[in-house]
C-alpha cells in the first residue's frame, strides 16, 4: 500500500503555496478590519502579486510532472496498478490536487490577471453605485465581468450549461440538474407557508430588539457565546468589520468578525454565532494536513452548514435561550426587564418578507437565494441581458416575497457577489441551510440529551461531534459523500422543510 509519505515532494510544494495564500489572506483580513481607506489600491496590488505567485507555483512544470506520475489524467483519480494501490488519504489528496491543478491550468494567466483586475474595479464601482442608488453606473462593469465569467466557463468546459462550470467552483459536484428539484421542492412548500404566516392572527412584535443596546456590552456578550461554543481565543480573534466574515491562515489562527448596531440587538449576536460556526470548522481542520486539500474545508455549502447550524438550529432555539437569556437579561437590565424568554424567542424568530437577504429570517432566506439562482443562471446562459436586471429582480421579488424594492440599492444592487464575479456562489447559502438541519437532526440522534446539554449552556459535545464527523476530514470526501457518511443521505430538503413547518407552525399557530 502506497502512503502519503511517498507524496512528500508534492506536499512540500503545496505547503509553500498555502503559505503564500495565507499571507494574502492576512492582507485581506487587514483590509476589511484595520487598513485605512487610502490603502485600498496598493493593497489590491499586493494581494494580486501574491495570488499570481501562488497560481504560477501551482501550474508549474514541477507540480505537473509530479502529478503525472501519480494521477490518471483521463479519470482524475490516483493511478493504480494491480498490487500497487494507494491508501485512502493519498487517493483523496491526489484527486483533489488534480482538481485544483487542472482547473488552474485551463485558465491562461493573462486571463486570470484580467479577470482579477476587472473584478476589483467592478467591486469599487458597485459600492459607489449602491450608495448612489444608480444601477446604470454599475452596468458597464457588470457587463464586462459577466462576459469574462462566461469566457471562464468556456475555458473550464461544462456539460449542459456554462453555469455548471461556475457552480462547481464553490460546490464540487453541484449542477443545475441536481439543484433545480431542490429549489422546486422549497418553493412549493415555503411560498404557501409564508402566505399562511403573513395571514396568521398571531403577529409577533420584535420591537424589543430595537431598543438602545450598549455596543461594548453587545460585543462582550457575543464573545461569551463564542467561548461557550468552544471557539478558541488562543487560536482566534474577534474584530469588527462592515460585513462579518471568517478567515483562516492556519488552524492555529482563525479570525472572525462581527458588526454592531446600537438599535439592532440581533445583528451582532447572530453574526457572532454564525461566524463562530465558520470559525469552529476552520479551527477543527486537521493541522497535520495543513497545506494539502485534506487540511482544507470541503465546500462553501458545507462551510455554511456549520454557521447556519449554530446560528439557527442552536442560536434560535428555546434550549439555547433557556441558559443564555438570563445572562442577556442581566447584561441589559433596563431593556429586557419584563420581557420573558418566550417573548424574546418569538422576537428572534419573527418571519417577515423583507428586501435585504442578509437580514432575512431563516424561512424567507431561501426565497432570496432562489431568485438569485434563477437570475444568474439566465445571465450566464445569455438568456437575460444585464440591463434588464432591475425589472426582472423586482418582478421576482413580488412573485416570491410579495414585496417590491422601492430602490435598486435595496434590490438588485444589494449584494457584492456579482461585482467580483461570484456567479454560482449564492446557491451554497441554501445548501448550507439544508445541510445544517440534516446534520443537526443526526447530532440529536447521536448525542444523548443534546437539548438538555444546550439548555445547560454546555455546547462542547456538539462542537466535538461536528469536529469528529465533519471538520477533521477536510476534503477527504466529496461534499455529497461526506453528507452521506454523516447522515445516511445526500442533500435532502425534507428535514429542513419539516423543521420550519413545525417551528413556525407552532409559533404562528397555523
Phi, psi at residue 421, to the nearest 5°?
A: 85, 15
* Per-residue DSSP letter, 313: I
Q: Is residue 271 within the footprint of Zn ion (CB under 5 A)?
A: no
Residue 353 CB, shortest distance to Zn ion, in Å, is: 22
Instruction: Give the ranges where 71-175 is alpha helix by DSSP (H).
Output: 88-106, 109-132, 135-156, 162-170
Q: Which residue is nearest to Zn ion (CB)?
A: 307
Kindly tell me which of 257 and 419 has the beta carbon lying closer to Zn ion: 257
Please give the residues from 150 up to 179 whose contact with Zn ion meets the rule CB under 5 A: none
Kindly tell me which of 278 and 475 has the beta carbon lying closer to Zn ion: 278
> How would DSSP label each residue in 440-506?
HHHHHHHSTTHHHHHHTT--HHHHHHHHHHTGGGTTSS-HHHHHHHHHSSSS-SHHHHHHHHHHHHH
* Contact range with Zn ion by CB under 5 A, out of 48-56, 254-262, 306-314, 368-376: 306-314
Residue 208 CB, shortest distance to Zn ion, in Å, is: 26
Residue 455 CB, shortest distance to Zn ion, in Å, is: 26
Kindly tell me which of 297 and 335 has the beta carbon lying closer to Zn ion: 297
Angle between helices 365-380 and 427-446 (to 10 degrees): 140
3-class SS string, 224-265 = HHHHHHCCCCCCEEEEECCCCCEEEEECCEEEEEECCECCEH
Does residue 441 contact residue 495 with C-beta atoms inside 8 Å?
yes
Kindly tell me which of 152 and 304 has the beta carbon lying closer to Zn ion: 304
Q: How far apart are the first and last CA of the chain?
A: 59
Residue 398 CB, shortest distance to Zn ion, in Å, is: 27
- 507: cell is 409559533
Kindly tell me which of 54 and 434 has the beta carbon lying closer to Zn ion: 434
Phi, psi at residue 239, to the nearest 5°?
A: -130, 180
**H helix or E strand, kind and range, residue 78:** strand 77-78
Rounded (5°) CA angle 319-491-477? 100
Residue 378 CB, shortest distance to Zn ion, in Å, is: 25
Residue 278 CB, shortest distance to Zn ion, in Å, is: 6
- 174: cell is 453541484
**Residue selected from 218, 306, 307, 317 as contacting Zn ion according to rule CB under 5 A:** 307
128 part of the active site: no
Which entry of 152, 275, 376, 467 is annotated as an active-site residue? Answer: 275
Kindly tell me which of 96 and 304 has the beta carbon lying closer to Zn ion: 304
Q: Interface with Zn ion by CB under 5 A: which residues?
A: 304, 307
Active-site amino acid positions: 275
Amino acid at each position: 500500500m502506497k502512503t502519503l509519505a511517498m507524496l512528500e515532494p508534492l506536499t512540500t510544494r503545496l505547503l509553500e503555496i498555502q503559505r503564500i495564500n495565507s499571507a494574502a489572506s492576512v492582507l485581506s483580513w487587514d483590509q476589511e478590519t484595520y487598513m485605512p481607506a487610502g490603502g485600498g489600491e496598493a493593497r489590491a496590488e499586493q494581494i494580486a502579486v501574491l495570488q499570481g505567485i501562488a497560481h504560477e507555483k501551482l501550474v508549474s512544470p514541477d507540480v505537473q510532472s509530479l502529478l503525472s506520475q501519480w494521477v490518471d489524467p483521463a479519470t482524475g483519480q490516483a493511478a493504480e496498478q494491480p498490487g500497487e494501490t494507494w491508501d485512502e488519504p493519498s487517493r483523496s489528496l491526489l484527486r483533489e490536487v488534480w482538481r485544483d491543478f487542472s482547473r488552474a491550468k485551463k485558465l491562461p494567466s493573462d486571463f486570470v490577471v484580467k479577470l482579477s483586475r476587472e473584478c476589483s474595479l467592478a467591486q469599487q464601482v458597485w459600492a459607489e453605485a449602491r450608495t448612489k442608488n444608480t444601477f446604470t453606473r454599475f452596468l458597464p462593469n457588470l457587463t464586462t465581468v459577466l462576459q469574462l465569467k462566461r469566457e471562464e466557463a468556456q475555458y473550464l468546459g461544462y456539460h449542459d450549461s456554462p453555469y455548471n462550470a461556475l457552480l462547481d467552483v464553490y460546490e464540487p459536484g453541484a449542477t443545475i440538474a441536481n439543484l433545480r428539484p431542490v429549489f422546486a421542492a422549497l418553493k412549493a412548500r415555503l411560498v404557501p407557508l409564508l402566505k399562511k404566516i403573513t395571514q396568521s392572527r398571531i403577529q409577533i412584535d420584535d420591537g424589543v430588539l430595537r431598543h438602545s443596546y450598549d455596543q461594548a456590552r453587545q460585543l462582550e456578550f457575543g464573545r461569551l457565546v463564542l467561548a461557550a461554543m468552544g471557539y478558541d481565543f488562543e487560536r482566534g480573534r474577534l474584530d469588527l468589520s462592515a460585513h462579518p466574515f471568517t478567515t483562516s491562515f492556519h488552524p492555529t489562527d482563525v479570525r472572525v468578525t462581527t458588526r454592531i448596531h446600537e438599535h439592532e440587538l440581533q445583528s451582532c449576536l447572530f453574526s457572532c454565532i454564525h461566524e463562530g460556526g465558520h470559525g469552529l470548522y476552520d479551527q477543527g481542520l486537521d493541522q497535520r494536513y495543513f497545506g494539502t486539500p485534506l487540511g482544507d474545508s470541503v465546500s462553501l455549502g458545507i462551510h455554511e452548514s456549520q454557521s447556519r447550524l449554530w446560528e439557527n438550529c442552536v442560536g434560535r432555539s428555546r434550549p439555547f435561550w433557556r441558559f443564555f437569556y438570563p445572562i442577556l437579561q442581566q447584561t441589559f437590565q433596563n431593556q429586557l426587564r419584563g420581557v420573558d424568554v418566550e417573548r424574546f424567542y418569538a422576537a428572534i424568530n419573527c418571519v417577515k418578507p423583507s428586501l435585504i437577504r442578509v437580514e432575512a429570517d431563516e424561512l424567507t432566506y431561501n426565497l432570496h437565494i432562489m431568485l438569485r439562482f434563477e437570475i444568474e443562471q439566465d445571465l450566464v446562459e445569455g438568456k437575460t441581458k444585464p440591463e434588464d436586471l432591475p425589472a426582472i429582480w423586482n418582478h421576482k421579488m413580488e412573485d416570491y416575497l410579495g414585496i417590491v424594492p422601492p430602490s435598486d440599492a435595496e434590490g438588485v444592487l444589494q449584494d457584492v457577489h456579482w461585482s467580483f464575479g461570484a456567479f454560482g456562489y449564492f446557491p451554497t447559502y441554501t445548501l448550507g441551510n439544508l445541510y445544517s438541519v440534516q446534520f443537526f437532526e443526526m447530532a440529536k440522534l447521536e448525542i444523548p440529551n443534546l437539548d438538555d446539554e444546550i439548555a445547560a449552556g454546555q455546547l462542547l459535545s456538539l462542537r466535538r461531534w461536528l469536529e469528529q464527523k465533519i471538520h477533521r476530514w477536510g476534503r477527504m470526501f466529496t461534499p455529497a459523500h461526506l453528507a452521506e457518511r454523516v447522515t445516511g443521505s445526500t442533500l435532502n430538503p425534507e428535514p429542513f422543510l419539516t423543521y420550519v413547518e413545525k417551528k413556525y407552525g407552532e409559533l404562528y399557530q397555523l
